[in-house]
Structure 1
Amino acid sequence: MILANPGAMNGGDEVVAAPVGPPQQLEWKFSQVFGERTAGEEVQEVDIISAIEFDRTGDHLATGDRGGRVVLFERTDTKDNGGSRRDLERIDYPISRHPEFRYKTEFQSHEPEFDYLKSLEIEEKINKIRWCQTANGSLFLLSTNDKTIKFWKVQEKKIKKISDMNLDPLKGVGNGSVASSSNSVNPKSYLANGGFQDRLSNDFSFPPGGISSLRLPTVTSQETSLTARCRRVYAHAHDYHINSISNNSDGETFISADDLRINLWNLEISNQSFNIVDVKPTNMEDLTEVITSAEFHPTHCNMLAYSSSKGSIRLIDLRQSALCDSHAKLFEELEVPGSRSFFTEIIASISDIKFGKDGRYILSRDYMALKLWDINMDSGPVSTFQVHEYLRPKLCDLYENDSIFDKFECCLSGDGLRVATGSYSNLFRVFGCASGNTEATTLEASKNPMRRQAQTPARPSRSLSSSITRVVRRGAENPGADANGNSFDFTTKLLHLAWHPTENSIACAAANSLYMYYA
């Protein structure tokens, strides 16, 4: 996050501010699409993508769907340029390289279940995916549905093929039949991992005169096969639906959160967890808010934040107490007097929070807007980016069709200069959040992302201080229509997206299709 111009040394000890202006607006381009629909093609419910996550390096991408499957993709445009670091540094690559991913593997993470004690069906839908630290060339990740978290290991296994056998397994049928000698071996007969294609019977007999010569079998090839194995299952710890999982920076623990509780787990221990946050009242009639999202601080293993349905964010310190019922800091925006209505609390509910890479800022998404918070300033958000302000006159209709309860995710760029979130009609918004940056771009999840770009410029609001500016940015605000007069489709919504950790590249889900863009 850049909020002030950096200084530069100008001889001696004199410091001169460098004349650095706001970053230029990015020009987004289509990169790839996986699972693109043809015109009129019906989308199966189980194929709709429900989770997206880049790993720490950005070389792998994972998606989960409502059918309980996890699909992995790997980066190829950097992998194809092998060689030593010195050789790579000599190559003059263009500044903007086209990022490319390819399908790697997929596996069935969750199956539908039935809770007989509560007479409830448990969907196989993947709610969240989180990458863990890699080890020995293997990939590790956590995936969860409403009730059960699983820890997966994905690794490449070498399959050895043996040839030059003394006996031809295709002809070794037993029961008195004569197997071929070494002179009649089929050179293309292979045995995977030493196994026969057809097992020889125990009463096999050698040919008359025996075998003239014997040869040692040889390994002719070592093919690789990807396998996914579930190493741990973390179950029976949540009475309510799990909405978040988050890895700790210590690489050993993670949290899982439902509506009323947050549990702390050790990756290696699946039968025990520690309840660190419990907001369940003694009398459920006194319940006024629920937990909606939770995430660990990216560098401080003792700190985490969680959001609530009342629009507040609480920062807690695990060193203060075993049960963190009291928060270290509370972030909430004061309600404007006279603005309260029936929908005020509903649209204030935070659906997602994300820490910036350095942990200084928290990005939150409620139904109407994105808000950027400085953890050192709890008086209000540093910036507010209006996303759905044009829908305010339609809140009653959105309540009737339950669209007002849609949970949109948000993400930050690796450099902290931009934020992004989804909207309806398969649109997503990208905003600049550095001081003086008025970037506000609307893109469509299609092969032509700029087709429906909003032309309404962002309008900064009042200044909070010389170095930190509280601003409000708005996209298109025509009620029910974009800047080009196209009506919005509330049945197509872009809920899930992720920003590459080191590059200006975004992956987003439109129903069953995965779109990728770069700038």
Structure 2
Amino acid sequence: MKSPSNIMRQSSLTKLGSMINTAVNKRAGNGDIQWCFSQVKGTLEDDVTEADIISCVEFNHDGDLLATGDKGGRVVIFQRDPISKNSIPRRGEYNVYSTFQSHEPEFDYLKSLEIEEKINKIRWLKRKNPAHFLLSTNDKTIKLWKVSERDKRVEGYNTKEENGSIRDPACITSLRVPSIKPMELMVEASPRRIFANAHTYHINSISVNSDQETYLSADDLRINLWHLEITDQSFNIVDIKPTNMEELTEVITAAEFHPAECNVLVYSSSKGTIRLCDMRSAALCDQHSKLFEEQEDPTNRSFFSEIISSISDVKLSHSGRYMISRDYLSVKVWDLQMETRPIECYPVHEYLRSKLCSLYENDCIFDKFECCWSGNDSAIMTGSYNNFFRVFDRTTKRDLTLEAARDIAKPKTLLKPRKVSTGGKRKKDEITVDCLDFNRKILHTAWHPSENVVAVAATNNLFLFQDKL
């Protein structure tokens, strides 16, 4: 028979274990995470220029840097604040690290076509030396950028002055030994490679291979494979362009390499299908290895079925076992071992199904929402309208609707879950479907690779949220 003291000790140990498990689960993305406001970047003004609208968001592999691209062709890199990173509890605060003009507007004289400077995608390369490297692309041209720090300068040249001008040889009467002097830290961004003239249609995806030597770029009808050291040639590995363009029935919407297997890639289409290709089978991947498709119930078919089934984004999990696809109304989780149907389906804004007609008229039905995994693949995040974004916990099957709004822009403000009323009597904290602002939308989101810190792009503002410990 156990003594009361042993029972009490066991009880307290059980409670302690429970508390530790809860804390661990929260850090890992399991359980009920409470999210709080961390920071907002950009001016909270009503007058927003088109060039300032954020068009992509991407954390690097360790989460210390966060890059955003905008419609004006600029890339802004934020760096994790060292104090916030090392504080207990850790805080997800970032400061501007570097800003540079990545792309300029161009004009294709052969096709009489304007090429926008808007940054479509940014992808980081894994770090191999003190410098950072990233790929950025607009509709036609991909650039490899090197971002490096300089805190020392050389003084005492023999053949040139400190300002760089060449010295008159007649004035050089003695040899000087150059010396290295400290200087104020300077972050430089320089283009190392420019990959151009390989796409007839607009580039929608770039993805760096796990070998860190090659990458893919995808447009509406083709996927090209590049080597990072070679700019003047690429290999066309997928081509779905029909001989007669009138027979065109689908386009490529997104493509990504497998995180661990350098021979495997997936790409999604406007028909709601995802194809998995293995480059070991054939150099030309027109014949897919697997086809992931969910058959539609004929009774639910409507005029909008094909439009809302188009996949706007596909992301493989960090483990490489699963992938998520985002269509207009939902996020689906697929197991790479099962092609017939998704293993999980999360409705994002099902209440819009009755509004599809008006959404078609104002072109919102063609919005391309992105989605992302948490660091340990236990949660998924994607955006919606009214600056709402949705977080789905795969462990508990619970979901949250949160808002990136100005009135919460105070440090450590706890985010209140939002609810949308679909009919009947509206509760106090709910918002009706008719009151949603379709001009305010969260298209681009990113999740820190190892912590519960998320970045959400709301028009020209970048909101950062973290879990409340």
Are residues 1:388 and 2:349 paired?
Answer: yes
Deviation, structure 1 residue 46: 0.4
Q: Note closer, same or farther for the CA distance 1:391–1:381 as it changes in structure 2 (3 Å cut).
A: same
Are residues 1:72 and 2:77 paired?
Answer: yes
2:161·2:167 contact (CA, 8 Å) conserved in 1? no
Are residues 1:442 and 2:401 paired?
Answer: yes
Residue matched to 1:454: 418
1:424·1:493 contact (CA, 8 Å) conserved in 2? yes
Q: Note closer, same or farther for the CA distance 1:337–1:395 as it changes in structure 2 (3 Å cut).
A: same
Residue matched to 1:27: 34
Q: Which of 263, 277, 297 in structure 2 is aligned with 1:316?
A: 277
1:443·1:450 contact (CA, 8 Å) conserved in 2? no
State how many pairs are aligned.
431
Q: Which amino acid aligns with 2:38?
A: S
Deviates more, 1:399-408 or 1:483-492: 483-492
Q: Which amino acid aligns with 1:510?
A: A
Residue matched to 1:154: 147
1:161·1:222 contact (CA, 8 Å) conserved in 2? no
Q: Note closer, same or farther for the CA distance 1:386–1:80 as it changes in structure 2 (3 Å cut).
A: closer
Deviation, structure 1 residue 453: 2.0
Q: Which amino acid aligns with 1:441?
A: L
Q: Note closer, same or farther for the CA distance 1:394–1:382 as it changes in structure 2 (3 Å cut).
A: same
- Sequence identity (%): 55
Higher relative contact order (CA 8 A, sep 6+): 2
The 1-side partners of 2:85 and 2:169 are apart by: 50
Q: Which amino acid aligns with 1:454?
A: R
Q: Note closer, same or farther for the CA distance 1:220–1:238 as it changes in structure 2 (3 Å cut).
A: closer
TM-score, normalization by structure 2: 0.86
Q: Note closer, same or farther for the CA distance 1:67–1:275 as it changes in structure 2 (3 Å cut).
A: same
Deviation, structure 1 residue 393: 1.0
Residue matched to 1:185: none
| Greater helix content | 2
5+ residue gaps, structure 1, are 1-17, 82-92, 166-192, 207-213, 456-475
Deviation, structure 1 residue 135: 2.7
Q: Which amino acid aligns with 2:69?
A: G
The 2-side partners of 1:110 and 1:509 are apart by: 20
Are residues 1:195 and 2:157 paired?
Answer: no
SS in 2 for 1:489: coil
Q: Which amino acid aligns with 1:288?
A: T
Structure with the greater alpha carbon radius of gyration: 1
Q: Note closer, same or farther for the CA distance 1:202–1:409 as it changes in structure 2 (3 Å cut).
A: same
Are residues 1:291 and 2:252 paired?
Answer: yes
TM-score, normalization by structure 1: 0.78
Residue matched to 2:12: none
Q: Which amino acid aligns with 2:32?
A: Q
Q: Which of 471, 478, 484 in structure 1 is aligned with 2:422?
A: 478
Deviation, structure 1 residue 199: 9.0
1:77·1:98 contact (CA, 8 Å) conserved in 2? no
User: Equivalences for 1:59-208 in 2 at 5 Å?
Assistant: 59-77=64-82, 81=86, 94=88, 96-160=89-153, 195=162
1:389·1:477 contact (CA, 8 Å) conserved in 2? no
Residue matched to 2:52: 47
The 2-side partners of 1:422 and 1:490 are apart by: 12
Are residues 1:490 and 2:451 paired?
Answer: no
Q: Note closer, same or farther for the CA distance 1:195–1:438 as it changes in structure 2 (3 Å cut).
A: same
1:158·1:224 contact (CA, 8 Å) conserved in 2? yes
Deviation, structure 1 residue 221: 2.9
Q: Which amino acid aligns with 1:47?
A: D
Q: Which amino acid aligns with 2:417?
A: Q
Q: Note closer, same or farther for the CA distance 1:223–1:125 as it changes in structure 2 (3 Å cut).
A: same
Deviation, structure 1 residue 218: 6.7
The 2-side partners of 1:489 and 1:230 are apart by: 39
Deviation, structure 1 residue 216: 8.7
Residue matched to 2:194: 233
Residue matched to 2:44: 37
Q: Deviations over 1:25-80 (max 9, x none)?
A: 10001111111313xx3001101100100011111111000000111111123687
Q: Which amino acid aligns with 1:286?
A: E
Deviates more, 1:132-141 or 1:440-449: 440-449
The 2-side partners of 1:321 and 1:162 are apart by: 56
